[in-house]
Amino acid sequence: MARKQGSHSEITGPRVRDAALRLIAQHGFAAVSMRQIAAEVGVQAGALYNYIADKQSLLFELMKSHMDELLAAYGAESLPHDPTERLDHFTRFHIRFHLPRRDQVFVSYMELRNLSADNFARIEGLRRQYENALEAILRDGIASGAFRVTDSRIATRAVIAMLTGITNWYDPAGPITQDQVEDIYKEMVRNSVAAAI
C-alpha cells in the first residue's frame, strides 16, 4: 500500500519509525505489535498502514535506513593513504557513528533473524559493502607488510564485531571519555592485525 499523501505524512511517518525503533530495541521485534506502535504514536492501529505496508516492511526500512546512513557517512570521509592510518580512521569513524545510535545498532544486528529471505539478502548486501571498506584496508596493509593477518575476511568481521560491541557497555556519563575509548580500541585493533603501535 502506498504511503499516505498529505499534510501529516511527513510528520507521522518518521514518528512511526522512531516509535517502532524504540519499542523493538526495548522488547524485541516478535514482542512488539502494530497496535503498540500505533499507541506510542497516538494513532489508530489501522492508520499505520497509511505509512508502512506491514511489520516486516517496517523492520526492513529501519535496517536499510541505518545502513544507508552508515555507507553515506563513511563515503563522505576523507581517508589517509597509509593503511595503518586508514585503519585508525576506520576505528574512530565506526565508534563515533555507532555510539549515538544504540537502538539502531541493536535492531540492525539482533533482529536480522526476523527478516524475510529477500530482505535479509538486501541488508546483507549493504553490510557487505561496509565490510568491504575495512577488508580493503586490511588487504592493503597485508600487501605493504604493515599487517599480519591470516584471513582478511575473518579479521574484518572480528574487528567490526569488537567495535560495534562498545554500544552495549559504554556510558558517556561514566569515568572514561569517548576519546579515551577510541584510543584504547585503536590500539586493540592494531594489535589484532599485528600492526606496529
What is the residue extent of each domain of the chain? 1-52, 55-193
- Residue ranges in the chain modelled with pLDDT below 70: 1-11, 196-197
Question: Fold match between 1-52 and 55-193?
Answer: no
Report the distance separating Cα 106 and Cα 165, nearest Å: 10
CB of 22 closer than 8 Å to CB of 29: no
Q: What is the pLDDT of residue 148?
A: 95
As given in the structure block, the three cell numbers for residue 147 are 599487517
Q: What is the pLDDT of residue 13?
A: 81
Q: What is the pLDDT of residue 124?
A: 97
DSSP 174: S
Report the distance separating Cα 124 and Cα 40, nearest Å: 30
Q: What is the pLDDT of residue 1?
A: 40
Q: What is the pLDDT of residue 9?
A: 54
Report the distance separating Cα 138 and Cα 80, nearest Å: 14
Residues 118-166: pLDDT tens digits?
999 999 999 999 999 999 999 999 999 999 999 999 999 999 999 999 9
Instruction: Say which CATH architecture domain 55-193 belongs to.
Output: Orthogonal Bundle (1.10)
Residue keyed to cell 577488508: 135
**Which of these, 82, 84, 81, 80, lies nearest to 190 by C-alpha position?**
84
Q: What is the pTM of this model?
A: 0.89
Give the CATH number of domain 1-52: 1.10.10.60
